[in-house]
Amino acid sequence: MVSACSGQNSKKAEYIERAVNDSIIYINGHDYDLIALSKLDSLTILKYQDDSMDYIGNTLILLLKGKNQLAIDKINEGLKINSKDADVINLRGYAYYKLNQLELALKDFDKAIRLNENNEVFYYNRGLTYLKLNIYKKCIKDFSKAILLNPKNKDAYFARALAYELNYDFKKAISDYTININLSGGSINALNNRAKCNESLSLYDAALNDYNLSLKIDSNNSETLYKKGMLLIGRGNINEGCALMKKAKEFGYNNDKAIKAYCD
């Protein structure tokens, strides 16, 4: 398999990394907030480690601190106790994913699914790995299975929308982004991505509306300001578009070339 971070796939991989929010890791039907876990004083969450599940808390904090290989070592200790703990195997797969060791990640997610075919998280995680490898048919299948198991899984809808978008199936992408937006109560990433899909279909009014909705959530979002500015310039509204482009720059968006090309 070819790493998504190599050569011609580097920009696509960067887009995927920006779009997919994996700050929450799902284990055994519960979601662990890594930011909350980081506030704990000790690397030990559970007092006794006589069960493989007791290693999960330690592993999560190691992942938060970027100690992915140490996290894998900790998980391997737990698997010595119970080699068929699907949740722990899934977590090791996640650590491999973070290390960009995608073939090893796939093997662990495959094994977790064989042990438990009814866990939406395992399909979602394997789908993310296929997505990073640009294997769209398989990742869409996994995200669809996750949604079948939990129709309110907003992350799976977002990820499937992203896969559709990258595969140029913009209508299906718009549909899934819309569901994600409805389930989440509004998402800047989803709104901006839906706007991009609308632009690809020449639905410029719909795209402009999405950027406006995104700016209602965060009026200073530099990426949204830039993208709306570019849309307006493309539609002939140079002055307003350039004003937004320059505002985006003020908030940190690197768009000097675009400003020079269209506004100076």
Q: The domain spanning residue 129 has which CATH number?
A: 1.25.40.10
Residue 123 maps to a domain: yes
- 93, two tokens: 């797969």
Provide the pLDDT for residue 172: 98
Provide the pLDDT for residue 259: 87
Residue 259 maps to a domain: no
Whether 198 contacts 178, CB under 8 Å: no
- In order of 9, 37, 72, the CA distances from 45 in angstroms are 39, 9, 17
Residue 1 maps to a domain: yes
Residue 93 CA to residue 59 CA, distance in Å, equals 12
Closest by alpha carbon to 37, among 55, 60, 18? 60
Q: Name residues whose C-beta falls within 8 Å of residue 158's C-beta, 6 or more positions apart in sequence.
A: 19, 20, 176, 177, 180, 187, 189, 190
- pTM, entire model: 0.80
Residue 57 maps to a domain: yes
Mean pLDDT score, 190-213: 97
Whether 173 contacts 35, CB under 8 Å: no
Per residue in 40-94, pLDDT (tens digit) is 433 334 333 444 455 676 777 777 777 888 888 888 887 888 888 888 898 889 8
Which residues, in sequence order, are bridge partners of residue 30? 27
Question: 15-19, 130-134, 158-162, 230-234 — which is least confidently predicted?
Answer: 15-19
| Domain membership of residue 117 as a residue range | 1-167
Residue 42 maps to a domain: yes
Q: What total number of domains does the chain contain? A: 1
